[in-house]
Amino acid sequence: MLHYALVFLVIAIIAAVFGFGGIAGAAAGIAKILFVIFLVLAVVAFFRRATR
């Protein structure tokens, strides 16, 4: 999941450099969502592991 977030972040940066603002904004938004999902899953996995 983190890998996909980083891929979309790179796509957003490249699109922004070339002047594609709409695509850059969309890719950055997707990257943010994927990163938040990754963080939530990581915290849940950490607490499940700690309680075992």
Q: 2: closest CA among 27, 22, 25, 31?
A: 31
Q: Which two tokens stand for residue 49?
A: 């592991």
Q: What is the pLDDT of residue 51?
A: 87
pLDDT tens track of the chain, all 52 residues?
A: 789 888 989 999 999 999 988 989 999 999 999 999 999 999 999 999 998 8
Q: What is the pLDDT of residue 42?
A: 94
**All residues at 6 or more sequence positions from 23 whose CB lies less than 8 Å from its CB, including other chains:** 11, 12, 15
Domain boundaries, the chain: 2-51
